[in-house]
Amino acid sequence: MTIRELINEAEERMDEANKDSNVPKVLFYHVSNMQPHELYLKMDEEVDEETLRTFNEDLQRYLNGEPVQYIKGKEYFFNYEFTVNEDVLIPRYETEELVENILYVIDDYFKDYKTIDLCDVGTGSGAIAISLALEEPKLNVCATDISEKALVVAKKNAHDLGAHVTFYQGDMVQPLIDAKKKVDIFVSNPPYIPVHQDIDPRVKDNEPHVALFGGEDGLYFYRKIFETVRPILKDRAILAFEMGFDQRDIMEEALQQYFPDCPHRFLKDINGKNRMLFIYYNIE
């Protein structure tokens, strides 16, 4: 069988099953280690047995409902290639915008600093912490996660990408309190989906629930952070969060309760949805 025949056949199967017909090509690049232009030139060559077997296994995993990123074991975030598996949330495009905006904030408020201390709480794959460490050499980055297994992935990513990040295992802010850390910038993309919300089965059945769900209204972890974060903030600090697009009103209420005197700002993502929250702690 030629590569062309294999892929065509697989694409037809996807159409019939109402699945994404781009996936066969994506998986074929992965199993064959070919770039798109190479594949284009080799379409009429025979598929070797090993490639055929792995391709069929991977395709079956996709048909069984697994996300392509877990099958490949990789996802790009901020142009860096991160290893991902079932122990971590797959990094999302929306979160790249959070990283982007944090880089702007650094420019706006911390330009003259020689070093800037930043923490990423609930780091998962390490996507936020590692990208920031790589993008801004002035940052001194630490990150926490409650999941030991997630930290294995995050540490591998930091190592493979050459980022210097100090990792702590523990619940949200607690390990940083214990380590007597003080930060200029606090970042988190905590789990924010309300527990009873219906979500895409490919997400719900595969991604770690500890990374997805944030209690009844989705704000459980934000409140927990708001309650406990002050001891790790420097006199002047910025807190940056990703949040659910429909959580602005309840977030306002939580901010009234925990940070009534601090200015804050909601930022929209590329789709025009409220997606980020910045709190200015003793910064006008």
Q: Is residue 102 part of the contact set for ligand GLN (CB under 6 A)?
A: no
Give me the least distance between CB of 116 and ligand GLN, in Å please. 19
The residue number with the shortest CB distance to ligand GLN is 124
Residue 125 annotated as lining a ligand binding site? yes
Would you say 140 and 115 are in contact if contact means Cβ atoms under 8 Å apart? Answer: yes
Among 133, 139, 183, 211, interactor with ligand GLN by CB under 6 A: 211
Q: Is residue 218 part of the contact set for ligand GLN (CB under 6 A)?
A: no
Between 89 and 225, name the residue whose CB sits nearer to ligand GLN: 89
Between 3 and 219, name the residue whose CB sits nearer to ligand GLN: 219
Would you say 44 and 76 are in contact if contact means Cβ atoms under 8 Å apart? Answer: no
List the alpha helices (DSSP H) in the chain.
Answer: 3-16, 23-32, 36-42, 49-63, 68-72, 93-109, 127-135, 148-161, 174-178, 201-204, 209-212, 220-228, 248-258
> Would you say the C-alpha torsion 217, 220, 222, 227 has a positive or negative sign?
positive
Integer angstrom CA distances of residue 219 from 127, 235, 244: 22, 26, 9
Between 56 and 170, name the residue whose CB sits nearer to ligand GLN: 170
Give me the least distance between CB of 230 and ligand GLN, in Å please. 22
Q: Is residue 95 part of the contact set for ligand GLN (CB under 6 A)?
A: yes
Among 24, 175, 191, 218, interactor with ligand GLN by CB under 6 A: 191
Q: For residues 136 and 220, what is the distance between their CA atoms, to the nearest angstrom? A: 31
Name the site residues for ligand GLN (rule: CB under 6 A): 89, 91, 95, 122-125, 127-128, 189-191, 211
Q: Which residues define the annotated binding site for substrate?
A: 189-192
Binding-site members are 122-126, 145, 189-192
